[in-house]
């Protein structure tokens, strides 16, 4: 039998809240961050199209176990809709498929917005990662196929007009998991009889992270290479100090702010990491919770359930 190879990279854990630039794909961004940190493993919490910029939370190491909680968090986008043209991709990338000389007034837009607030049904774009009969919709669309993509339920908390001009309108939307902003532009354009597509898209928040957590590729490179944008020719021969770049990480536990928090002792933490339940002490400790996270000295220990005053671990984190 072949022997399993050693893991390559450092066992570093935490979140990089990347301010992704336009033109960089989400997979490319993850590879770049993984390389900069020399991390064992990395993954992102929600794809951001290459033509979009903004918040792409990237998990390193143990933080990858908390990705689903960030994916489920509310997101805030600021986007510009260009009126008068509908495109195959619902953004600037695709060719024009419908056009109109009509332009909406601000009053018409404000009258329309309530239709898109709350729990609504939305049909994803033809160019999306939705699977149809086992294939990605964007692969079928690139082959020239038009497929029926079923509408699905999404939730929009707010949709505001930031700035309105004759040919373009800037919006800000707070929405839940699975919302396609490109579909919003397409559907509003159709409702208004003028067509529309995304001309600019920026994700400004992914709960629980905020714009204060943003870090750019340039800042990460400067921290990693001491002001240089890339490694020098003798880099491999020089011991690398990762302290500056590691300082830019957000703690893994921040991703679980949505869960009840239980502080445990070092002894209890050791038992939990071995998969054993422990009695929860303290006046403010919850008695029952389907999901909660245990911490020791501010560090994440495990995700688990609280039943009858006991914390029962389901997923543990390395100390």
Is residue 18 within 8 Å of residue 217, measured between CB atoms? yes
Q: Which position has the token pair 């600019």?
A: 200
Q: Which position has the token pair 């902003």?
A: 181
| Angle formed by the axes of helices 26-37 and 217-225, nearest 10° | 20
Q: Which position has the token pair 């890339």?
A: 230
Strands 152-164 and 118-122: antiparallel
Catalytic residues: 49
Is residue 173 within 8 Å of residue 159, measured between CB atoms? yes
| 247 CA to centre of own chain | 21
Selection from 8, 2, 14, 19 nearest residue 246 by Cα: 14
């Amino acid at each position: 039998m072949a022997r399993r190879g050693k893991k390559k990279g450092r066992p570093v854990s935490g979140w990089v809240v990347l301010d992704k630039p336009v033109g960089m794909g989400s997979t490319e961004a993850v590879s770049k961050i993984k390389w900069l940190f020399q991390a064992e493993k990395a993954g992102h919490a929600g794809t951001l199209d290459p033509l979009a910029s903004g918040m792409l939370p990237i998990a390193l190491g143990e933080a990858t176990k908390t990705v689903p909680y960030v994916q489920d968090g509310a997101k805030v986008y600021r986007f510009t809709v260009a009126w008068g043209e509908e495109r195959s991709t619902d953004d600037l990338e695709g060719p024009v498929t419908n056009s109109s000389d009509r332009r909406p007034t601000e009053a018409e837009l404000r009258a329309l917005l309530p239709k898109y607030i709350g729990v609504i049904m939305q049909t994803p774009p033809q160019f999306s990662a939705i699977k149809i009969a086992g294939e990605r919709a964007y692969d079928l669309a690139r082959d020239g196929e038009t497929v029926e993509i079923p509408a699905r339920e999404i939730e929009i908390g707010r949709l505001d007009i930031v700035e309105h001009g004759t040919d373009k309108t800037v919006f800000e939307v707070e929405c839940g998991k699975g919302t396609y902003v490109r579909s919003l532009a397409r559907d509003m354009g159709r409702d208004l009889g003028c067509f529309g597509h995304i001309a600019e898209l920026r994700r400004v928040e992914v709960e629980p992270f905020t714009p204060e957590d943003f870090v750019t590729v340039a800042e990460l490179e400067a921290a990693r290479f001491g002001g240089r944008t890339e490694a020098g020719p003798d880099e491999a021969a020089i011991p690398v100090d990762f302290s500056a770049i590691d300082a830019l990480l957000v703690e893994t536990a921040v991703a679980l702010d949505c869960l009840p928090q239980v502080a445990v002792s070092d002894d209890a933490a050791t038992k939990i990491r071995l998969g054993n339940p422990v009695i929860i002490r303290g006046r403010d400790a919850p008695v029952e919770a389907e999901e909660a996270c245990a911490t020791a000295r501010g560090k994440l220990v495990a995700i688990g359930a609280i039943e009858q005053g006991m914390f029962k671990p389901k997923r543990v984190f390395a100390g």
